[in-house]
A and B are shown apart, each in its own frame.
Chain A
Amino acid sequence: MPALGRLAICLALLFAAYATGVSILGALRRRRHLVRSGEHAAYAVFALVVVAVAILLRALVQHDFSLEYVAAYSSSTLPLRYTVAALWGGQKGSLLFWAFMLTLFTTIVQLQNRERNRELMPWVTATLMTTAAFFLGLLTFVTDPFERLPIAAREGADLNPLLQNYWMTIHPPSLYTGYVSASVPFAFAIAALATGRLGDQWIRSVRRWSLFSWFFLSLGNLFGARWAYEVLGWGGYWAWDPVENAAFMPWLVSTAYLHSVMIQEKKDMLRVWNMVLVLLTFSLTIFGTFLTRSGVISSVHSFTQSGLGPFFIGFLLFVLVVAGGLLAYRLPELRTQATVESFLSRESAFLFNNLVLVGIAFAVFWGTVFPVVSEWVRGVKITVGPPFFNRVNAPLGIALLFLAGVGPVIAWRRASPRNLWRAFAGPVGAGLVAALALGLVGVPLGYAHSTFALGAFVLGTIVQEFWRGMRARQAMLHESPGRALSRLVGKNRRRYGGYIIHVGVVAVFVGVAASSVFRVEVQQTLAPGQETAAGKFTLRYERITKQDDPHVSRLAAVVSVWRDGKAVTTLAPEKRFYKKPQQPTTEVAMRSTLTEDLYLVLGSYDDESGLVTILAYVNPLVSWIWIGGIIMALGTTVTMWPTPAERREPAYALAGVRAATD
């Protein structure tokens, strides 16, 4: 079977190369049958990759330890869900998984566009298949997931214990989905540049794909944060590790694009800028993959050198040269006459938002590559850590939050004093009231205070928008409030879905600001029966419990939690010792509420004296980060939901085809 898997990958590579070549040929010579042939080859690539994935999965589930990959990333005692997750737990498998997602999306895009965008499609297919060929080439020539061990291992080395976690089953797939689906807008951008069809058509065709990619990047980042929070046991959720930054940068640029593309659709401005953002998002996904696999930049995720770095850098350069060249070639046609008419206008607010987002992305990029750059330039490695990223990004984040309140309600073209008053009197009032109230309850001035007050301002603009829209419908159409509200959202999904996303963003901002600024951290060594204080809580260490099974043995400290003399709960942070890769891991115990999380870690345990060291963190409002994520997901769903007209469209198209053939 493994030989068959390898064969499938080799064949897929051949078909991908064929699809690329024949699609371009078909486009240049305007031969329909060649273009169709390219598309069919792309379907075949997908089918072959599915076969390869199925064979690798089968080997994992059947514990075929004659395969190097299976022996390295799973074991016979590993639970089934992690055995399946081992598919993306290692380098080779994750590259295969990447190829799988990419060819799946290629298939979907081709099916969606059988009757549409026929001029663009050969280039779209060629671009996607070039990318697929790159990954399949790596799998064929450099890092073969079906490599056999000289002698079959008796038992696997097992999946890293840190990865044996619920989030492992959903975080990497979300992130890969976000990463890989960014290829689709990129492919359309290349197609637009190659054909010179630079109007809005390509942008409208990939609107949903851009949102889809952004959505999964958002989810992937949040899942990753949640994973780090639950598993790594240092009380935080984001450490500005290069690998985290790798996923954050394309998200930032993609966010910028989703905003600026609205300006292009409404005003036909920023065509060059938007093109650059799409190309940059894709390049950053490749750069991110490079970061995680090359070992060029040390990170907790990837200390080891894997030798894949040069290939990724090569491919990245190829992408930048081709995309940059095409962009330069079409630059005169892309430029438009329209410019920003006023400093106080929605266009300019959106542009400033874009500059800040790209500025943050640049700062993150600079901080991430700084060690490498300093080594080139000065011969010594100089690093910047989390303090750098926090210092730079906190003020930029505040600016962004402010613009999130301004952008959606300020007038297009040019805001008049009257319009400004009408749009901002209420929200600014809400922000000021919040600022004052927070001051009165003792929140000190600073980043957290500003974030809360600006959050109130942003929420004020959103509530006002919903309220005014609802009232207008009620007045004109005599609808009930509930019906008016649901119709309002239903008829303007993109706009109101966007507002809902902003509500989620505010929640995330509030959670991040509160938990960064007001967090309490205590480390205390305790004997049984001893107590320590952590914020408003009193912690009493009761006893240690021990448990042993063949896969893992556990050591748990039972800690009772008190507040104002009343028992709140009992928590039991653990140390686990996994038997196969002999390694201890930390199991955090948490009491999570809407106001704060009490987060306990068992630091150490001394068998002789019975002393334990407990690390306790009180993280205020952390839950709102996850709640904000759920709100963002809801908002994105509203935004992406097809409108009735769109849902009918394929039927029309089909009817048209039928009428033509009758």
Chain B
Amino acid sequence: MLEKRRFIVGAVLIAGAVSYLIYAGVRTTSMYYFSLDEFLSSREAHADEDLRVKGWVRHGSVHWDPRTNDLAFDLAHQDDSNPVPVGYRGVLPDMFSEGREVVIEGRYSGGRLAAHQIMTSCPSKYEPAKAGS
């Protein structure tokens, strides 16, 4: 019986450790994932906090300097409305281009999103953009 209890204690310890690691991991690494509208309505409340925002690269807004790798563009709705300026320093992702859907990871401060990562949506291997679009 004692042995069985020791075994159960071991099992509970493992389960507890897994739960704790998940709990602590979520607490320290989670961040909000906003659509552009959600972001626009709550951006002041989440200033200076890591978050992700999904939107589209506004047509005609991309300025990129290949010498300094400074990128500036506007994140907007698909129809180019409600733009938010984004700044980023680093290499341009391959799939980045105007009109494309992107997810920005960064912080909002002073009316501007400072991105530290730009994730481009791969024209998915399952559903490609229709020819001509």
Contacts of A293 in B (CB 8 A): 126
Bound-state CA distance A303–B54 (Å) is 11
Query: Closest CB-CB distance, A63 to chain B, in whole Å?
Result: 15
Query: Closest CB-CB distance, A490 to chain B, in whole Å?
Result: 36
Q: Which 6 A-B pairs have the closest CB atoms?
A: A603-B91, A606-B66, A359-B18, A303-B121, A91-B126, A381-B33
Bound-state CA distance A340–B10 (Å) is 12
How many residues of A are in contact with the other chain, CB < 8 A? 70
Is the C-beta of A480 less than 8 angstroms from some C-beta in chain B?
A: no
Residues 8-51 of B contacting A (Cβ, < 8 Å): 10-11, 14-15, 17-18, 21-22, 24-26, 28-34, 38
Is the C-beta of A391 less than 8 angstroms from some C-beta in chain B?
A: yes
Complex partner residue of B26 from A351, A359, A370, A585, CB under 8 angstroms: A370
Q: Which residue of A lies closest to B90 (CB)?
A: A523
Is the C-beta of B62 less than 8 angstroms from some C-beta in chain A?
A: no
Residues 385-398 of A, flagged 1 when their CB comes within 8 A of B and 0 if not, give: 10111011001100
Q: Do the beta carbons of A604 and B69 come within 8 Å of each other?
A: yes
Bound-state CA distance A303–B6 (Å) is 48
The stretch of A54-62, A188-196, A199-207, A294-302 in contact with B is A294-302
Complex partner residue of B29 from A71, A162, A385, CB under 8 angstroms: A385
Bound-state CA distance A507–B103 (Å) is 35
Contacts of A359 in B (CB 8 A): 14-15, 17-18
Bound-state CA distance A301–B119 (Å) is 11
Contacts of B22 in A (CB 8 A): 362-363, 366-367, 392
Query: Closest CB-CB distance, A259 to chain B, in whole Å?
Result: 15
Q: Which residue of A lies closest to B64 (CB)?
A: A604
Contacts of A585 in B (CB 8 A): 94
Known pairs A303-B121, A359-B14, A585-B94; A383 contacts B30 (CB<8 A):
yes
Q: Do the beta carbons of A355 and B14 come within 8 Å of each other?
A: yes
The stretch of A178-186, A430-438, A446-454, A607-615 in contact with B is A607-615
Q: Do the beta carbons of B18 and A604 come within 8 Å of each other?
A: no
Is the C-beta of B3 less than 8 angstroms from some C-beta in chain A?
A: yes
Bound-state CA distance A302–B95 (Å) is 14
Known pairs A303-B122, A381-B34, A396-B18; A388 contacts B101 (CB<8 A):
no
Is the C-beta of A352 less than 8 angstroms from some C-beta in chain B?
A: yes
Residue picked from A72, A306, A383, most chain B C-beta under 10 Å: A383
Q: Do the beta carbons of A339 and B94 come within 8 Å of each other?
A: no
Chief secondary structure at chain B's binding surface: mixed
Chief secondary structure at chain A's binding surface: mixed
Q: Which residue of B lies closest to A308 (CB)?
A: B126
Q: Do the beta carbons of A304 and B94 come within 8 Å of each other?
A: no
Bound-state CA distance A533–B21 (Å) is 37
Taking Cβ atoms with an 8 Å cutoff, the residues of A that contact B are 71-73, 89-91, 94, 153, 157, 160, 162-163, 233, 292-293, 298, 300-304, 306, 339-343, 348, 351-352, 355-356, 359-360, 362-363, 366-367, 370-371, 380-385, 387-389, 391-392, 395-396, 399, 523, 525, 581, 583-586, 601, 603-606, 609, 611, 613, 615
Q: Do the beta carbons of B122 and A306 come within 8 Å of each other?
A: no
Complex partner residue of A160 from B29, B32, B68, B128, CB under 8 angstroms: B128
Known pairs A303-B121, A352-B14, A381-B32; A340 contacts B101 (CB<8 A):
no
Interface residues on B, range: 35 or more
Complex partner residue of A355 from B15, B92, B130, CB under 8 angstroms: B15
Query: Closest CB-CB distance, A640 to chain B, in whole Å?
Result: 30
Bound-state CA distance A456–B21 (Å) is 26
Is the C-beta of B127 less than 8 angstroms from some C-beta in chain A?
A: yes
Q: Which residue of A lies closest to B54 (CB)?
A: A298
Bound-state CA distance A523–B11 (Å) is 46
Residues 59-76 of B, flagged 1 when their CB comes within 8 A of A and 0 if not, give: 000000011110000000
Complex partner residue of A157 from B17, B18, B90, B131, CB under 8 angstroms: B131
Complex partner residue of B3 from A160, A303, A343, CB under 8 angstroms: A343
Contacts of B67 in A (CB 8 A): 525, 606, 609, 611
Contacts of B126 in A (CB 8 A): 90-91, 94, 292-293, 301-302, 304, 306
Contacts of B94 in A (CB 8 A): 233, 583-586
Known pairs A300-B119, A300-B122; A343 contacts B69 (CB<8 A):
no
Given contacts A355-B14, A362-B18, A392-B18, could you give 15 more A-B pairs where the C-beta distance is less than 8 Å?
A89-B125, A160-B123, A160-B128, A293-B126, A348-B7, A351-B7, A352-B14, A363-B21, A380-B32, A382-B31, A388-B26, A388-B30, A395-B17, A581-B128, A604-B66
Q: Do the beta carbons of A384 and B25 come within 8 Å of each other?
A: yes
Query: Closest CB-CB distance, B105 to chain A, in whole Å?
Result: 8
Query: Closest CB-CB distance, A168 to chain B, in whole Å?
Result: 9
Bound-state CA distance A510–B93 (Å) is 30
Query: Closest CB-CB distance, A155 to chain B, in whole Å?
Result: 9
Q: 6 A-B Cβ contacts within 8 A?
A: A306-B127, A343-B6, A356-B14, A384-B25, A384-B26, A603-B90
Q: Which residue of A lies closest to B9 (CB)?
A: A343
Residue picked from B7, B24, B69, B95, most chain A C-beta under 10 Å: B7
Bound-state CA distance A123–B115 (Å) is 55
Q: Do the beta carbons of B21 and A396 come within 8 Å of each other?
A: yes
Known pairs A340-B3, A396-B18, A613-B91; A304 contacts B31 (CB<8 A):
no
Q: Do the beta carbons of A73 and B3 come within 8 Å of each other?
A: no
Query: Closest CB-CB distance, A615 to chain B, in whole Å?
Result: 6
Contacts of A90 in B (CB 8 A): 125-126, 128
Q: Do the beta carbons of B125 and A163 come within 8 Å of each other?
A: yes
Contacts of A603 in B (CB 8 A): 69, 90-92
Bound-state CA distance A298–B7 (Å) is 40
Is the C-beta of B58 less than 8 angstroms from some C-beta in chain A?
A: no
Known pairs A351-B11, A352-B10; A388 contacts B25 (CB<8 A):
yes
Q: Do the beta carbons of B124 and A342 come within 8 Å of each other?
A: no
Bound-state CA distance A380–B17 (Å) is 27
Q: Do the beta carbons of A604 and B92 come within 8 Å of each other?
A: yes
Bound-state CA distance A381–B30 (Å) is 10
Complex partner residue of A605 from B3, B24, B66, B123, CB under 8 angstroms: B66
Query: Closest CB-CB distance, A16 to chain B, in whole Å?
Result: 24
